[in-house]
Structure 1
Amino acid sequence: MAKTVDYYVFLASPWAYLGSQRFADIAKRHGASIRIIPMAAAEVFPVSGGLPLAKRAPQRQAYRIVELKRWREFLGVPLNLQPSFFPMNEALAARLVIAAREAGQDAVGLAHTMMRAVWAEDRNIADPEILEQIITETGLDPAKLFGAAESDAVQAEYTRGTQQAIDANVFGAPSYVIDGEIFWGQDRLDFVDRALAKS
């Protein structure tokens, strides 16, 4: 029986971006479904010991750049190490992804396009006009998604998804949860592949 992967993301995460297309390809190969769950870092970090980038020790910040360079070169994925609009408020973008998910549309593809916009195209996904452009580029209807994103129901889903992440012991992004087992980080995708192969 095909499995469902709960895919927890921060849309502004470079690590989620580096893994997003590979993860989608792995899931497709195994016939697995993906339930994308955007979560709010400001809620997840305080209860899990995480820190926003600016509050991390200089050594950790420096090593993050080293690792991003390594993965960018290894994967051959375009990635700007210091995008102009990072960090940003990703709440609206997250609600738009949730709106697409709830409408049965390609929310995973939309999320990937948003991540690529930040990390490869130097675009600001906190800007509603940029988000409208991105949605149009993916072939979805901006008016419908923006309308849904402002609804109480979608806001409640964003809050619920964040709490679901906390309850599942998710502490960072990307996290892939299969049958209750957490795989944290795009560098764990080989293990995700193996877990899905067992189904």
Structure 2
Amino acid sequence: MSHVIDYYFAPVSPWAYLGHARFGAIARAAGATVRVRPVHINAVFAVSGGLPLARRPAQRQAYRLVELQRFSRHLGVPMNLNPRHFPVPPELAAKLIVAVALHDGDEAAMRLAGAVFAAVWTQERDISKPAVLSQLLDECGLNADRSVLAQQQPVDAQLDENTRLAIEAQVFGSPSYVLNGEIFWGQDRLDFLREALAA
């Protein structure tokens, strides 16, 4: 029986960016199905004790940059530690990824999510801008009308449902990979996820 992994993330998450390609490769190698579930991350934080970056203590913010640089080098994943367009509101990007998941499937949504992450963390593009998101759709070979569908009620409802499911699963940060009810939080837990898929 094929494994199913629920992939919870915020479209602006640097940690989700660092793990995204590797996660996709692990899932494919295991023949696992990925359900792409962007969330309202601040709603997740609100019930789990997390804080938006700007509200974290200075020493935590400083150490975050150290760890991002370490992992970028360790993984060989290029990254701008201080991108021009971060933080920006992630809702439009989250809705677009949801719209693609609903209408084109999770594999297409994985491609778009990867393009969104790269736009923020390597390309200095503002993913809160509709024009940028339209460009990303085109670059991923996806239908331009997904931008229209992203503004409709079914997508809002699905994004809210993703957030509810994340909270119900006791997710508290981005990225979180949930397999058979077990949470693997953070791209640095992907080796554990691989082991669980092989078990």
> Which residue in 1 is equivalent to 2:67?
67
The alignment yields a C-alpha RMSD, in angstroms, of: 0.7
Cα deviation digits, residues 38-90 of structure 1 (max 9, x gap)? 00122111110000111101110010000001001001111000011111111
Uncovered stretches (5+) of structure 2, i.e. residues with no partner:
none
> Which residue in 2 is equivalent to 1:80?
80
Letter in 1 for 2:31: G
- Where does structure 1 differ by over 3 angstroms across 4 or more consecutive aligned residues? none
> Which residue in 1 is equivalent to 2:51?
51
> Which residue in 2 is equivalent to 1:158?
159
Letter in 2 for 1:5: I
- TM-score, length of structure 1 as denominator length: 0.97
Q: Output the CA distance in 2 between the equivalents of 1:188 and 1:42.
A: 22
Cα deviation digits, residues 141-189 of structure 1 (max 9, x gap)? 122x112111111100011111111111000000000000000000000
Q: Output the CA distance in 2 between the equivalents of 1:60 and 1:167.
A: 27
CA deviation after TM superposition for structure 1 residue 14, in Å: 0.3
> Which residue in 1 is equivalent to 2:142?
140
CA deviation after TM superposition for structure 1 residue 104, in Å: 3.1
Q: Output the CA distance in 2 between the equivalents of 1:146 and 1:110.
A: 12
Alignment of 1:1-199 (within 5 A): 1-105=1-105, 106-143=108-145, 145-198=146-199
* Residue identity (%): 49
3-state DSSP class of the match of 2:183? strand
Uncovered stretches (5+) of structure 1, i.e. residues with no partner:
none
Q: Output the CA distance in 1 between the equivalents of 2:156 and 2:8.
A: 16
| Number of residue pairs the alignment of both structures matches | 197
Q: Output the CA distance in 2 between the equivalents of 1:2 and 1:160.
A: 23
Q: Output the CA distance in 2 between the equivalents of 1:98 and 1:5.
A: 16
Contact 2:9 2:41 in 1 (8 A): no
Q: Output the CA distance in 2 between the equivalents of 1:142 and 1:16.
A: 25
